[in-house]
Structure 1
């Protein structure tokens, strides 16, 4: 049953109510299966009002993608404290990401699954969000290298590749954590932080892994792992 209709509700509030309903329906049923009737009913409004406020189903979906992407980016940026040490900044960003995806599973489904699998312009909207997150992580890794490595000259391409890999791992882990009972956002963040920071720590201490036939690497003490209780 939809929400109780209130004709006196301000337009901005009513529109957000419609978007909340749309994200839930799109996230749980998928873009193709979702209907404007379902969205209107859940929002407690008439279908013509949804069209009046948000035009077509395509425009409504695009607006949902943009809103959820903006919320995701703002949450991650808010989790990164500039005055923290390098590892804590990365931890803060990861924990904010996993907390947001856990608290907004329908929004994450819209961004991670639906937007990417229904062609343009939806995929482009999701890609723009991802590029901004990758840029933030690239900056975090570059700063970490400067602060913790005696010779802070990790190649730009390598930093970019590490950021892409870390974001991809976070996306996959978030989808898995949301579908796996008993896995908290903090646990998911700690899992990836330990995996990533150990590897990053090796690079920053000059302990890069070499493929067979490569030169041997000098072993040095590894950075301390991050505990999920932090």
Structure 2
């Protein structure tokens, strides 16, 4: 794959994920079983194996809701159908003695859905390849300085907002934030993830959350962690409710 083609594919991927509608069709199976990792060196085999394992973990989290077992991670190359490398510094002159050995590359790994799916089932992790229910995230954030509703472009809350967007991309979940604080009514067939994310004096976060709608109901509290860990736990638990 040429660099131009790889960049075009990455752009198309980002646009497709950003445009997922509320009533989403089942995700593309090949995309579900594609993972990415950043590795060092084009021909560095230990790094490539590490990248395969990291990409497999991403896929397992997306389709099975759990990290890949160690045995599957160790044998990740056995499930690879193909991969591409994109030089993150393409066009920039090599300026170190080791040439491209220490250059960073984005490794895109396409796993074989049938083989990896069977291996996950054998490990007790049932793959979920069906439609992802859309989620409206209605979150109030209290950062000890101010309390506000997190929206698409609220002046505060950049970190939690980007964490949710990253989760939506990685898990291929049609998840959105309200456009404005007063425009937070769910669309038809859209579940609501409601919660309060509060920071304590030590800089740790607690999330009280509840999911309602789309045939699922679940809630809980995640205490004294980083905000990205708290949000990932709530989204993972929400997806587990949809799988039932």
Greater Cα radius of gyration, structure 1 or 2: 1
Q: TM-score, normalising length from structure 1?
A: 0.25
Q: Which has the higher helix share?
A: 1
